[in-house]
A = this chain, B = another copy of it.
């Protein structure tokens, strides 16, 4: 699995959650996690979480680190959301290694009780995708800045590469486990 670090800021407007965005921009033909920094302003037409859409929630932030994950091995939404949770845990672990203690609730990270992330997962007929974003700075919500993380780009690269390594590790573990029998 490939971890790509964007060399320029990208605004997350929701179009990046579509299948094959990473191929279109980076020509990557592997499963991938693309990491970039930039503002967030999701237009209603790109809202995948119907809860947000129905509540007409504004999904925006002036500065975030973003992760766009795409897997082509399965289009199971259950697997997409389980991978999303794992990505969220990995972000929490990378923060903890920087002495920032985030609380995770489902796919959300909280810093000092303030929600600091947004995320969604879903699938098309060809791939599953995850978007996960953490506020770098934000007045209304929690942010890395408030939490004392001053190297968001480094953190971003760390989370992305850990997710890719975790995936590769899972792929190896899958290939040494015997099938199970039934209890009797």
Which positions in A face B, CB cutoff 8 Å?
A: 15-21, 23-24, 28-31, 47-51, 54, 72-79, 81-83, 85-86, 89-90, 92-93, 96, 101, 104, 106-107, 120-127, 129, 166, 169-184
Q: How many copies does the complex hold?
A: 6
Q: Whole-angstrom distance between the alpha carbons of A92 and B182 in the complex?
A: 30
Q: Are the C-beta atoms of B89 and A17 separated by less than 8 Å?
A: no
Q: Are the C-beta atoms of A180 and B124 separated by less than 8 Å?
A: yes
Q: Given A120-B177, A177-B121, are A83 and B82 neighbors across the interface (CB < 8 Å)?
A: yes
Contacts of A178 in B (CB 8 A): 19-20, 47-50, 122, 126, 182, 184
Q: Are the C-beta atoms of A20 and B126 separated by less than 8 Å?
A: no
Q: How near does chain B come to A95, taking the closest CB pair, in angstroms?
A: 11
Q: Are the C-beta atoms of B76 and A177 separated by less than 8 Å?
A: no
Q: Are the C-beta atoms of A93 and B86 separated by less than 8 Å?
A: no
Q: Are the C-beta atoms of A125 and B75 separated by less than 8 Å?
A: yes
Which residue of A79, A101, A124, A178 has the most chain B CB atoms within 10 A of its CB atom?
A: A178
